[in-house]
Chain A
Amino acid sequence: MELTIALAKGRLAKFAIELFSKCGIDTSQLREDTRKLVVYDKKNELRFVLVKPSDVPVYVYRGVADIGIAGKDTLLEEGLPLYEMLDLKCGKCKVCVAGYPEQKERITSNITRVATKYPRIAKMYYDEKGEGIEIIKLNGSIELAPILDLSDVIVDIVESGTTIRENGLTILEEVCDISARLVVNQVSLKTKAEKIQPLIEKMKIALEDM
């Protein structure tokens, strides 16, 4: 029985490779500098697929990958039903609301304009507060939006807060904590239990000394 594992390309993948090595998985093909999107550990019947970070939940939800490693931010943004079974404690950061502490008074605008890469997370957060907002979806350099008066605030992930500060913005509210998570397809956990369960146990142990 083969297990398919979806890995986010980039920083998270590096961490995942270390973690999998510690679990006795052959990661030599994963370490190769190649453009292959599918690599194997044939001995352990594992297949790795390398995908864009925000796509990991989709692959796992649709069952073409059995397990995946993804940031909590993308899990929240996709909002798909998955089993979220381990906190890998890597890539720790927060989703925050940032902007200028003093809002300019404006007669022609009475709802907050929010620029973000994460429209769903932003909407959920403000929905919970019962506050209507205007979402401005951007794909990068979010900090620019309040500076150019494109938006009043931003909702974005914040690690050290340096980018926020260097652009003259302040963190106004914390939305939630983010870190990398191990997600499992809800059907695979049961139909491939004899493969997935021991792997999770090994990962738990490996995580303790990382």
Chain B
Amino acid sequence: MKQLKTQVPAGAWDYLPEECAAKRKIENEIRDSFLKNGYNEIETPSFEYYEVFMHDSVPYVQENMMKFFDQKGRILALRPDLTGPIARAAATKLLARQEVLRLCYIQNAFGFFNRGIAGKTEFTQAGVELIGKRGADADAEVIALAIGTLRKIGLDGFKIELGQVAYFKGLIEGSGLDEEQTERIRLLVDTKNNVELEYELSRLNMEASKKKALLELGGLFGGREALAKAEALAKSEECRKAVENIREVFDILCGFGYEDYLSIDFGILNNFNYYSGIIFRGISDGIGMPILSGGRYDELLREFGTDAPATGFAMGVKELLVVLERQGKLPRAFGKTMVIRADRNMLRQAFAYAQELRGQGKQVILELNGSAYDPACFEVVDFNGRAK
């Protein structure tokens, strides 16, 4: 017989005390950073009606979501991210009271994702959503918050890569591509697969200048100089606006002193249907996959009945833990726990003493049986009746 009771399901994860303590410490620092920047925490249910995640502007596929039924046979889904539920709550409950919302969360999301480091069936995301504000200053605000937060938890050698989906949309607009062709080209640009992109484009009837621009898109990355290259490459109004938008965000962030943390890549086109403007992700030395991703999604809230622009990001907490450990910066949260060994005829005094120390913030175990403790992890004190 298979021994399932001794295992966790694929992609699920036990956070044992040491890792759990480090996780909580980092989460507390992240939460503190979000709150201090004016983002208030929100909690939504772990599951929602399936419809919250299944409409035109979501990046999920049906088979990746964990689903079950309610008593009436309607489909429920465990949330694959927090942005959908928060957009729902904002559109239906908050925007009537307040025009601009700054919300944050540290919550678990779920799904059958075959990617990521430690399995991905249940994973903690920490993120913010800035709803009701358009413009480069709003995007720069959340990106600055991401950088500030990563710095706060002690991460080194990371960069935020900025892209702009409107640039790609501007390039292919009016070239008569159908949805399927657009998707194929998007995927090839996103994976910097110029070999196949060239072949794909050779079969299409499209202006030569546009083809050239699409072929160069994957290589359009680097520092500020990428902006000028992008501008020279495409003249359409939408493309020009897209470049202008990144430049504005870039300039604001440089103004904050964050230039070293920035890079640009016009070829980032993941979750293309979700995002409507600037798009970004965090990368770091020591981990081969993004630690953070975000962008502007002005079309999502409309799905829930209130039209409002929005921007935000989510960090993968497990990814942060792994990269911090690889950089030797994982907080060691454990000090020695104090053990007070007392005799039963001194219960009152010993208990009062333990409570007093706990009140001072110490971690204290009151031991009445005289059990042995490992001195490597515990500081054992024999209580003799007088509080020291």
Contacts and interface: CB of A to CB of B under 8 A. Distances in A.
B195 A62 contact: no
A188 interface: yes
Contact of B288 (A61, A85, A193): A61
A100 B157 CA distance: 58
Interface in B146-194: 157, 159, 161, 191-194
Given A80-B115, A81-B115, A187 B194 contact: no
A87 B196 CA distance: 9
B366 interface: no
A209 B285 CA distance: 35
Contacts of B283: 186-187, 190-191
B145 interface: no
Contacts of A186: 283, 288-290
Is the interface on chain B under 10, 10 to 19, 20 to 34, or 35 or more residues?
20 to 34
Given A63-B287, A63-B288, A80-B115, A190 B221 contact: yes
A86 B193 CA distance: 7
Contact of A191 (B191, B193, B265, B285): B285
B265 A84 contact: no
Contacts of B285: 191
Given A80-B115, A191-B157, A62 B288 contact: yes
B263 interface: yes
Contacts of B218: 83
A205 B192 CA distance: 18
Given A190-B221, A191-B283, A191-B285, A84 B193 contact: yes
Given A63-B288, A186-B289, A81 B221 contact: no
A82 interface: yes
Which of B194, B222, B289 has the most C-beta atoms of chain A within 10 angstroms of its own C-beta? B289
Contacts of B161: 190
B40 interface: no
Nearest to B285: A191
Given A63-B288, A85-B192, A190 B157 contact: no
Interface in B182-232: 191-196, 218, 221-222
Contacts of A187: 283-284, 287-290
Nearest to B197: A84
A84 B192 CA distance: 6
Nearest to A59: B288
A188 B288 contact: yes
A64 interface: yes
A151 interface: no
Given A186-B289, A190-B161, A81 B191 contact: yes
A185 interface: yes
A185 B286 CA distance: 12
B92 to A, nearest CB: 34
Given A80-B115, A185-B288, A190 B194 contact: no
A87 B284 contact: no
Given A190-B263, A190-B283, A87 B115 contact: no
Interface of A: 60-64, 80-87, 181, 184-191, 193
Interface of B: 115, 117, 157, 159, 161, 191-196, 218, 221-222, 263, 265, 270, 283-285, 287-290
Given A62-B289, A64-B288, A84-B191, 4 more contacts: A81-B191, A83-B191, A189-B192, A191-B157
8 contacts: A83-B193, A85-B192, A85-B194, A87-B196, A186-B290, A190-B263, A190-B265, A191-B284
- Among all A-B residue pairs, the 3 with the closest Cβ atoms: A63-B288, A87-B195, A84-B193
